[in-house]
């Protein structure tokens, strides 16, 4: 599917419903959403669908504070400079009330810095870097998804139970990848002091030389591997790893690999038995998930992906924050979002006051190959609150 400027503008126009808003005698709440639509379509297109579905549902229920939500979508193409320029246009020209979005961690950090400089609330959906709410956190910045620390913490218990002592890692060479590796090492060593990390591979995002990466890992002779690649890099890494036997008789712990947007493309090449975070959309049975899946299928004629969950939950989290704040004033929202609770397809979540991180969690399980398709099995949901560090640790990481 090709994402065009015309498509995006049409989506924004559809969601705005200006005639309805004028008839109510109130202006819409304008959310300026900036994301890497053309750079990462596997995640961001389902994410956009989730956004649109949630906006339609909120508006059909009467809006927020009696006002409709209007969504203005922009594509940063995965470039921080473009993201900041577009944010500037949304704030200065379009007068948005809230900035939202971001996919890559470096883009999210650039948008967050813009929000701080301009004192405009920014709600990050996908960027996973811990710096967003800790080292570079500020009162105008909130983040929805489980962070790199949280993703590592969710997997480390299973990793610690493995007999493996010699570990290697492979991760994209930017903030998300290096941060995930850092936290996984620290958390695993705390549980297993007998473990050693003997090799690290840091390929450039989107440009992995999978053959060379696999050869280097094989030469190191690890007993287990932490994988942090995703998207096309993951597909190439798995293909080369399968061909060269890298995963035979080795345990693999892999962040995000169980998410449908990354697991589905692996198809028959799906490696079995990896410990992963993800979303077992074909197997969940709880009422909130099933209701969301049904609504999403009715609207888009396909199953949701993790991006869909993030998009829908982002709108719910913003609506709850504005309702609690009682206003769309940036200063009121900067403090008022803290403590707001909101419903997601994964259950209730809350905006933490201490670091502006949400408690949205994710699923942890193992990969399996069934009927030529990859699936998550033996899965469990991990609440985000259970994967966060203590308040005392947060105080050492987040500026006053």
Q: How do residues 314-334 score in pLDDT, each as one tens digit?
A: 999 999 999 999 999 999 999
Give the three-state DSSP class for 140: coil
**Side-chain half-sphere CA neighbours of 373 within 13 A:** 9
Q: Is residue 313's pLDDT more than 80?
A: yes
How many other CB atoms are found less than 10 A from the CB of residue 341?
14
Answer whether residue 400 shows pLDDT above 90: no
Nearest to 74 by CA among 96, 50, 106: 96
State pLDDT tens for residues 168-196.
Answer: 999 999 999 999 999 999 999 999 999 99
Tell me the per-residue pLDDT of 57-79, one tens digit each, with 9 for 90 and over.
Answer: 999 999 999 999 999 999 999 99
| pTM listed for this prediction | 0.91
User: Three-state SS across 169-204?
Assistant: EECCCCHHHHHHHHHHHHHHHHHCCCCEEEEEECCC
**Structural domains of the chain in order of their starting residue, each with its CATH number:** 5-147+288-350 (3.40.50.2300), 149-283+362-397 (3.40.50.2300)
């Amino acid at each position: 599917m090709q994402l065009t400027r015309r498509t995006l503008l049409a989506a924004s126009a559809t969601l705005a419903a200006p005639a309805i808003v004028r008839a109510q005698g109130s202006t819409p709440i304008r959310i300026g959403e900036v994301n890497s639509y053309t750079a990462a379509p596997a995640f961001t297109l389902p994410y956009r669908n989730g956004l649109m579905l949630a906006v339609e549902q909120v508006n059909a229920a009467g809006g927020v504070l009696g006002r409709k939500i209007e969504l203005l979508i922009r594509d940063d193409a995965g470039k921080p400079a473009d993201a900041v320029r577009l944010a500037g246009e949304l704030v200065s020209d379009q007068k948005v009330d809230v900035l939202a979005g971001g996919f890559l961690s470096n883009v999210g950090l650039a948008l967050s810095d813009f929000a701080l400089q301009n004192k405009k609330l920014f709600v990050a959906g996908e960027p996973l870097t811990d710096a967003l709410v800790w080292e570079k956190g500020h009162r105008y910045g909130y983040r929805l998804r489980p962070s790199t620390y949280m993703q590592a913490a969710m997997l480390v218990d299973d990793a610690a139970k493995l007999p493996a002592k010699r570990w290697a890692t492979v991760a994209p060479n930017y903030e998300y990848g290096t941060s995930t590796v850092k936290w996984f090492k620290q958390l695993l060593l705390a549980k297993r002091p007998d473990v050693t990390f003997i090799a690290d591979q840091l390929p450039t995002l989107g440009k992995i030389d999978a053959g060379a990466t696999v050869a280097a890992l094989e030469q190191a002779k690890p007993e287990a591997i932490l994988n942090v690649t995703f998207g096309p890099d993951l597909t190439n890494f798995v293909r080369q790893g399968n061909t060269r036997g890298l995963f035979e008789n080795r345990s693999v712990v892999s962040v995000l690999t169980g998410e449908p947007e990354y697991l589905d493309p692996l198809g028959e090449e799906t490696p079995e038995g990896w410990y992963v975070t993800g979303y077992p959309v074909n197997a969940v049975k709880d009422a909130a998930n099933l209701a969301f899946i049904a609504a999403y299928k009715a609207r888009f004629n396909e199953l949701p992906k993790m991006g869909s969950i993030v998009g829908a939950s982002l709108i719910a989290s913003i609506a709850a924050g504005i309702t609690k704040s009682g206003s769309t004033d940036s200063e009121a929202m900067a403090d008022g979002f803290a403590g707001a609770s909101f419903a997601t397809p994964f259950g209730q979540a809350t905006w933490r006051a201490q670091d502006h991180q949400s408690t949205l969690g994710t699923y942890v399980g193992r990969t399996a190959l069934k009927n030529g398709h990859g699936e998550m099995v033996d899965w469990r949901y991990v609440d985000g609150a259970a994967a966060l560090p203590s308040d005392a640790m947060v105080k050492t990481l987040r500026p006053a």
